[in-house]
Amino acid sequence: MKLQGLNGRLEHNFPLKKLSTWRIGGLAETVFWPQNEEDLVKVWLEAKGEGIPIRFFGRGSNILFPNEFLPGITIITTQLNQTHWDEQQVKVGAGISLAALAREAAQRGLTGLEFGAGIPGTVGGAIVMNAGAHGGSIEDVLAKVKIMTMAGEIKVLEKEDLEFGYRKCSLRDQALILEGVFQLGKGDRESIKQTMSEYLSKRKASQPLEYPNAGSVFRNPPGDSAGRLIEKAGWKGKKYGDAQVSEKHANFIVNLGNATACQVRSLIEDIQKDVQEKYGVELKPEVCIVKPE
């Protein structure tokens, strides 16, 4: 496939670990950071037409990449980063950082995105994951999305066209989000900033942010906490190579240096098996595991 005349960075044999907050992953055959949706659609349709595997990611804060070579094209959305404010509404490209958007909203005295303080993903990743914290989530503030379908068509959907649940959205694996429109409310700048700073302090106190990680590894089962069950089952601090169940928060697996995807996958599987055996609870991964081809 000829990748010529495109705007945006293009790399071959690029280390996936640089694209993931876990700092894990082997080489990707081709990585493309599109700067506009036209180039994105062009590459998507060409790759599909030629049967070349193509995948898309944001800031890689909820991803386990394989250590094996990843063939085909890996699209990273972080250059789709335009922002347009119109009073209490903001239209943003999918590649904007949610945390940065939340900071900008606070600076403008707009409320609604406080929960995004410290969530390291992009707006696109946050929409498909229905990211949230402290009782708030994307679905509370999202008004519209612009997407590219798997057939390469561009569509605008209203929030009512989508279904959301706990860390899930009907668009997941069905479309690439290009833009989101958020409806915020007027608030008091200082109290918004105060709330966000409290949220950040809570994160620093409870999460192992000093090591590469991908946030919560498992979804919380209904009415319970994955971290509580994993800790109770005795997994806190356990290591497979450099992959360790965090000593600070048992639902985080940290990379102590050279953890591999295989070590993390084995920890995930063994924790699932053990918690199922001991408590009859099925833990489902929240992180997206990219399988080697």
Ligand X SMILES: Cc1cc2nc3c(=O)[nH]c(=O)nc-3n(C[C@H](O)[C@H](O)[C@H](O)COP(=O)(O)OP(=O)(O)OC[C@H]3O[C@@H](n4cnc5c(N)ncnc54)[C@H](O)[C@@H]3O)c2cc1C
Cβ distance to ligand X smaller for residue 8 or 109: 8
Given the residues 59, 61, 114, 167, the one annotated as active site: 167
Binding to ligand X, residues 98-157 (CB under 6 A)? 119-122, 124-126, 128-129, 131-133
Q: CB-wise, 40 or 275, nearer to ligand X?
A: 40
Query: How far is residue 246's CA from residue 213's CA, in Å, rounded to a whole number?
Result: 9
Beta-bridge partners for 27: 15
Min dist CB 133 to ligand X, Å, is 4
* Residues facing residue 253 across a β-bridge: 245
Which residues 20-39 are close enough to bind ligand X by CB under 6 A?
21
Question: What DSSP letter does each residue of 146-170 carry, written as one string?
Answer: EEEETTS-EEEEEGGGS-EETTEET
Does 177 bind ligand X (CB under 6 A)? Our answer is: yes
Write the binding mask 189 to 228 for ligand X: x where contact by CB under 6 A, - elsewhere.
------------------x-x---xxx-------------
Q: x/- binding map, residues 54-73, to ligand X, per CB under 6 A?
A: --xxxxxxxx----------
Q: How far apart (Å, rounded) are the C-alpha atoms in residues 188 and 106?
A: 9
Q: Which stretch binds ligand X (CB under 6 A): 52-60, 82-90, 101-109, 155-163?
A: 52-60
The Cα 208–Cα 84 span in angstroms is 34
**Residue 286 known to be catalytic:** yes
Measured distance CA(41)–CA(34) in Å, rounded: 9
What separation in angstroms does the CA of 261 have from each of 216, 250, 267? 16, 18, 10
Instruction: Point out the catalytic residue in the list 216, 228, 247, 277.
Output: 216
The answer to whether the beta carbons of residues 149 and 155 sit under 8 Å apart is: yes
Q: Tell me the residue ranges of DSSP E strands in 98-183.
A: 110-111, 132-133, 136-137, 142-149, 154-158, 164-165, 168-169, 175-183
Count of residues near ligand X by CB under 6 A: 32
Helix (H) or strand (E) holding 26: none
Least Å distance between CB 131 and ligand X?
Answer: 3
Cβ proximity to ligand X: between 52 and 133 the closer is: 133
Enumerate the active-site residues.
Answer: 167, 216, 286
- The residue ranges that bind ligand X (CB under 6 A) are 21, 56-63, 77, 94, 119-122, 124-126, 128-129, 131-133, 167, 176-177, 207, 209, 213-215, 288
